[in-house]
Amino acid sequence: MGNIIDVEMKELGENMVKHCAGLPLAIVVLGGILATKNNSLGEWRNISDNVKSYLIRGKNQGLEDVLALSYDDLPPYLRPCFLYLSHFPEDYMIDVDRLIQLWVAEGVVSSKQEERDGGEIAEDVAEFYLMELVERCMIQVRERDVATLKVKTIQMHDLMRDLCLSKAKQENFVFIVDRSNASSLSMIRKVRRISVHEFFFIQCIKSPNIRSLLFFNQFLPVEALKNSLPSEVVNYVEEHQDEVWKPLFWILTISAAGTVLLKARGIWRHMFNNFKLLRALNYERTGNLRCMQTLDLRVNDYNKVHVPNVIWRMEQLRHLYLPDTCKKKTKLKLGSLRKLLTLVNFNTKNCYLQDLINMTNLRELVIRGPFKIESFNEKELGENPPIIGRFPKLESLILAKLYFLREREVDEGAMPSLQRLEIRRCPGLTMLPEGLRKLVINGAKQRGENIMPTLEKLPNLRILEFKEDWLTGCFLQITIKRLEDMELEEWEVSGLAGYETPPPFQFPSI
């Protein structure tokens, strides 16, 4: 009986492939659909019948109808996740972390269950949904983290994006502002989301129903914003400050990837990745944005920025990116931010070290100098407080420019979830967690030190990167007599002072 079923399933598979008419994308998507089904004859028959009807229509109406089967086969919880991808421009490299933040912030992925003990956080659910779309071949993976293998960036095939745009239009999911639909601005009043690709129309902000507006800086220079927005917006904000700042929904980002402008009670709130505009809008009142989930204050220049001590009021924050460099007078209290999952550019000059103790949900932490362990209040926390042991969920830790930091005693079993550690310009650190899978050593100044005894204590290390002056002074002074059992597939050596050719290492797997 089993052989008969296998033969029939093989025939069904061959027939479905024939119906794809040699279209590679259709074949790949079909494989993605079948991969989600039980290996039963009934399931394959149903898919085969659907393929016939869709592909017969597709011969006359284009590949959109062929791919429509993949959308119609999506479970209800995945459809809004797929439709949300219509926000992004053609060929856009989508950062997965930012996409997940947007999904969670706009309620595309629910976070209602996460407060229960043992419940998954919304970001984990969103990542699971993303992988389902990958397995269905509806999005393409462009980059993975070399240590964790997690997806970092994705992209949509042009034809799959056409399907996404078509379905989003049918559902009134989002309105795309570009040259192709500049004459259809009347539709704006019927949608809750706008994505600006090429132009910004000031009348967009007058729609009473719009919930969010995304724009992309490569299509919308800051100079255009200066010319079109401040005269109306700034005047309104100055007259209605309390009304404007208090009830902002969801998410606000200030970054090179784009800015999210959101609305509450029919009023727009604007913040940009240009701090001159930010100051003009009186950004000290950002503390009143109690529903904020993501705040990105990084800028692409070396100007020092003053951030007012108001962030502590934003207790719903999940992702906080502080500026690379803050002014001396900046001193932030962050202890109330217990929901933080991401904290970038933390230092003890502008923040309080003891505030880290309350952040037990952190997944990603970037500590950038100056950083002094003595900043702890020893009267309250003791002489040697176990700060690192407080991070049971921490997966990624980056230490940068901590020139005076030395080893501290860490409790056994500390940071059990840590998968990634990057050390940048921290010459005093040599003892590392055994479970590390990736180690990046960048800019260490201890020239001539033998680091091999340290590395051999990392049995799980999969990726080791040396950068900048580490190789030029330190690594070359190490005597390496033999490298054995190296399952390397690629070996690249360049810029070795004193060597005309690389040393004669043998790597049979290369």
Q: Which residue would you say has higher pLDDT here, 265 or 66?
A: 66
| Residues contacting residue 428 through CB under 8 Å, at least 6 positions apart | 402, 403, 404, 405, 406, 407
Alpha helices in 269-422 (DSSP H): 275-280, 378-381
Task: Report whether pLDDT(240) > 60.
Answer: no
| pLDDT (tens digit per residue) in 13-41 | 777 766 666 667 777 777 777 777 766 77
pLDDT given at position 238: 41
**Minimum mean pLDDT range among 153-162, 356-365, 407-416:** 407-416
147: nearest Cα among 318, 397, 414: 397
CA distances from 161 to 129, 190, 431, 483 (A): 18, 22, 48, 48
Instruction: Name the more confident of 322 and 260.
Output: 322
78 has a pLDDT exceeding 90: yes
Q: Helix, strand, or coil here: 472? A: helix
Boundaries of every domain in the chain: 2-72, 79-159
Supply the pLDDT for residue 153: 96
Tokens coding 105: 């912030």
Q: What is the pTM of this model?
A: 0.71
Contact status, residue 388 vs residue 414, Cβ threshold 8 Å: yes
- Strands (E) in 210-318, as ranges, are 212-215, 254-255, 258-264, 267-268, 294-296
Q: Which residues of 498-507 are buried (b: 16+ CB within 10 A; e: fewer)?
A: eeeeeeeeee
Q: What is 7-39 written as a DSSP string?
A: HHHHHHHHHHHHHTTT-HHHHHHHHHHHHTS-S
What are the pLDDT digits (tens) for 270-317? 333 333 333 333 455 566 667 778 887 776 556 677 788 888 988 888
Residue 142 has pLDDT above 70, yes or no: yes
Higher pLDDT, 15 or 74: 74
Q: Is the pLDDT at 225 greater than 80, yes or no?
A: no
Cα 342 from Cα 366, distance rounded (Å) = 8
For 318-377, how does the pLDDT look when each residue is reduced to its tens digit (9 = 90+)? 999 888 888 877 889 999 999 999 999 999 889 998 898 889 899 999 998 877 765 444
Specify the higher pLDDT residue, 154 or 373.
154
pLDDT level of residue 263 (50, 70, 90 thresholds):
very low
Fill in the DSSP letter of residue 447. T
- Do 349 and 375 form a contact (C-beta atoms < 8 A)? no
Q: What is the mean pLDDT of residues 44-50?
A: 71
Top pLDDT among 77 and 216 is at: 77
Both tokens of 217, joined, read 């800086």
pLDDT value for 305: 74
Taking CA atoms, 83 is separated from 71, 95, 164, in Å, by 10, 16, 6
Residue 101 in this model has a pLDDT that exceeds 50: yes
Which of these ranges, 265-269, 358-362, 483-487, has the smallest mean pLDDT? 265-269
